[in-house]
């Protein structure tokens, strides 16, 4: 059976699962993993426990309760805790890794953590909730869940920002869902990226967001959204996007996209910055479909860049990405570093070309006047 841990650590691990949207009943925590080990290698070692099935690394965090870093993995199969070994030895040798099974179920600590996180995002404290809950005329607190929920609702209502229906945001391009994509229209993947950006960044009501999505659709795509509205007139804008992706998109799951990401390599003659952009587009789809957690995005990107690069090894050495895998840069930071290095390499090539100078096909001087040095020229005017 997996290692027994104290209840406080179990509560912390369970709250961690809720933070990263992982079911505690299919999660396993692993400790003792080397810091420099790749994500794929970690998943392969943990998958050796057959009851887990396919394993995906979701997050990592340092826990002071056991004074070490813990890796959270999500398993494809539901398993019985009694069938999980207390530790596992990696094939390449070294110290054994300890396995900790997380028991699912409601947790008061998890609820408290969510409540504190909500208050922090709104710039409030527990004292603000108490003032709304108790008030000056009722000094005795109501210690009931309903009163707490009511107080939090009142707090959110008071702190809610007013929406701006006329908030300027670039209009979505037209999408019909017809293949090949007609001229003047957008492909499905690009349209979905723009639509999700609008949903996240546009400060307007759900009604206004639904209206903007419908205005950009026509043909088969509009018919799909109309069907969603008939079934549920109050459907969220995200439901519209999900329906369009299910009808006109590929049937790839999050795991399929993640596997595709892990198999990507640099093309012949492709610049490293272009390869990085291709990686970012693929890993974005994997995150959206749940193939990898957002917290592991930067590390997975750097690892695949190191693994898939075939023509820019010297540039990777200059960027020292192997030494930075444990604290990887963000996509924008890494792209700026690579493009700066590519610019310097282009400048060095220009200087090298200029120093040698152009030559003629015969190997002689390029210009005709090089045959007649200036000091031997006559100053007589030619008539």
So what's the pLDDT on residue 171? 80
369 in any annotated domain: no
Quick one: 44 and 88 in the same domain? Answer: yes
Quick one: 229 and 264 in the same domain? Answer: no
So what's the pLDDT on residue 379? 46
206 in any annotated domain: yes
Q: What does the alpha-carbon distance between residue 124 and residue 122 come to, in Å, rounded to a whole number? A: 6
Expressed as residue numbers, the domain containing 303 is: 254-356
Quick one: 64 and 130 in the same domain? Answer: no
So what's the pLDDT on residue 3? 54
Q: What is the secondary structure of 187-219 as a DSSP string? A: -HHHHHHHHHHHHHH--S-HHHHHHHHHHTB-H
Quick one: 238 and 150 in the same domain? Answer: no
Q: Identify the CATH number of the domain in which residue 12 sits.
A: 3.30.70
So what's the pLDDT on residue 305? 95
Number of domains in the chain: 4
Quick one: 260 and 344 in the same domain? Answer: yes
383 in any annotated domain: no
260 in any annotated domain: yes
Q: Reading across the β-sheet that carries 55-63, which strands appear in turn?
A: 55-63, 68-75, 27-31, 97-101, 87-88
So what's the pLDDT on residue 297? 93
Report the chain's mean pLDDT, rounded to a whole number. Answer: 80
Quick one: 238 and 268 in the same domain? Answer: no
Which percentage of the chain shows pLDDT scores above 70?
Answer: 73
Q: Which of the residue ranges 169-173, 218-222, 300-304, 327-331 would you say has the lowest mean pLDDT? A: 169-173
70 in any annotated domain: yes
Average pLDDT on 268-278 reads: 94
So what's the pLDDT on residue 274? 95
Average pLDDT on 3-21 reads: 80
288 in any annotated domain: yes
Query: Which tens digit of pLDDT belongs to each residue from 211-248?
Result: 999 999 999 999 999 999 998 888 899 999 989 988 98
Quick one: 299 and 330 in the same domain? Answer: yes
| For residue 34, pLDDT beyond 80 | yes
So what's the pLDDT on residue 136? 44
33 in any annotated domain: yes
Quick one: 269 and 339 in the same domain? Answer: yes
Query: Which tens digit of pLDDT belongs to each residue from 335-382?
Result: 999 999 999 988 888 887 776 555 554 555 555 444 445 444 544 444
Quick one: 238 and 266 in the same domain? Answer: no
Copy the structure tokens of residue 265: 């390599």
Question: In this structure, are residues 286 and 257 in contact, taking their beta carbons and an 8 Å threshold?
Answer: yes
179 in any annotated domain: no
Quick one: 18 and 86 in the same domain? Answer: yes
Beta bridge pairs of residue 59: 72
So what's the pLDDT on residue 331? 94
Q: What does the alpha-carbon distance between residue 359 and residue 312 come to, in Å, rounded to a whole number? A: 30
- Whether pTM > 0.85 for this model: the answer is no
So what's the pLDDT on residue 131? 63
Quick one: 349 and 258 in the same domain? Answer: yes
Distances (CA, A) of 19 to 16, 22, 106, 168, 195: 5, 8, 14, 33, 26
Quick one: 260 and 232 in the same domain? Answer: no
| For residue 139, pLDDT beyond 50 | no
């Amino acid at each position: 059976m997996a290692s027994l841990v104290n209840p406080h650590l179990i509560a912390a691990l369970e709250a961690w699962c809720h933070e990263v949207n992982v079911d505690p009943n299919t999660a396993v925590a692993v400790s003792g993993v080397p810091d420099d080990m790749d994500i794929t290698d970690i998943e392969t070692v943990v998958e050796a426990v057959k009851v887990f099935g396919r394993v995906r690394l979701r997050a990592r965090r340092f826990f002071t309760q056991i004074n070490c870093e813990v890796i959270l993995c999500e398993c494809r199969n539901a398993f019985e805790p009694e069938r999980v070994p207390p530790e596992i030895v990696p094939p390449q040798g070294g110290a054994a890794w300890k396995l900790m099974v997380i028991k699912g179920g409601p947790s008061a600590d998890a609820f408290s953590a969510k409540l504190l996180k909500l208050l922090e995002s709104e710039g409030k404290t527990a004292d603000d909730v108490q003032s709304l809950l108790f008030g000056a005329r009722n000094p005795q607190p109501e210690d009931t869940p309903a009163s707490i929920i009511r107080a939090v609702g009142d707090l959110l209502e008071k702190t809610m920002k007013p929406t701006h229906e006329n908030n300027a945001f670039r209009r979505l391009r037209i999408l019909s869902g017809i293949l090949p994509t007609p001229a003047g229209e957008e492909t499905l993947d690009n349209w979905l990226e723009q639509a999700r950006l609008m949903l996240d960044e546009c400060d307007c009501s759900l009604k206004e967001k639904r209206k903007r999505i419908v205005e950009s659709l026509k043909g088969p795509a509009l018919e799909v959204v109309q069907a969603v509205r008939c079934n549920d007139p109050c459907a969220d804008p995200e439901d519209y996007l999900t329906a369009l992706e299910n009808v006109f998109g590929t049937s790839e799951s999050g795991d399929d996209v993640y596997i595709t990401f892990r198999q990507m390599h640099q093309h012949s003659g492709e610049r490293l910055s272009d390869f990085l952009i291709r990686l970012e587009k693929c890993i974005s789809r994997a995150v959206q479909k749940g193939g990898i957690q957002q917290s592991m995005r930067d590390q997975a990107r750097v690892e695949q860049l190191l693994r898939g690069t075939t023509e820019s090894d010297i540039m990777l050495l200059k960027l020292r990405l192997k030494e930075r895998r444990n604290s990887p840069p963000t996509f924008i930071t890494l792209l700026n570093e690579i493009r700066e290095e590519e610019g310097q390499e282009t400048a060095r090539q220009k200087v090298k070309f200029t120093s040698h100078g152009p030559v003629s096909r015969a190997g002689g001087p390029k210009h005709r006047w090089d045959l007649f040095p200036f000091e031997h020229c006559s100053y007589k005017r030619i008539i």
